Amino acid sequence: DTAVSQTPKYLVTQMGNDKSIKCEQNLGHDTMYWYKQDSKKFLKIMFSYNNKELIINETVPNRFSPKSPDKAHLNLHINSLELGDSAVYFCASSQELRGDTQYFGPGTRLTVL
């Protein structure tokens, strides 16, 4: 059983489109995250979400919005996609909010043409 899963694995789309990436965890964790990995492999936090509390990295454009229908899911919605949004997006989860280990999903490679 996959602990943290993401769909789709690959996403190719045109500039200006709106797209969503889904994330589900079956670990019973309370906190979920989204990270972005750019072409140089640099990983950067985008959001942290715990018990309906959303903490946003201030550098994330407001075109990006996380949506959580329940504790096991945290989807990432992106409006008006730009070329610079091309990256690998990782979802993660942890049991506790402070200092606990984060377990990552397999990643979604987004390509904006």
List of residues contacting another protein (CB under 8 A): 31, 33, 35, 40-45, 47-48, 50, 55, 57, 88, 90, 92, 94, 96-107, 109
Query: Nearer to another protein by C-beta: 13 or 37?
Result: 37
Minimum Å gap between C-beta 48 and another protein is 3
Query: Nearer to another protein by C-beta: 8 or 106?
Result: 106
Q: Is the CB of residue 46 less than 8 Å from the CB of residue 112? A: no
SS3 44: strand
Query: 81: which residues sit within 8 A by CB, 6+ positions away?
Result: 13, 14, 15, 16, 17, 18, 19, 63, 110, 112
Minimum Å gap between C-beta 37 and another protein is 9
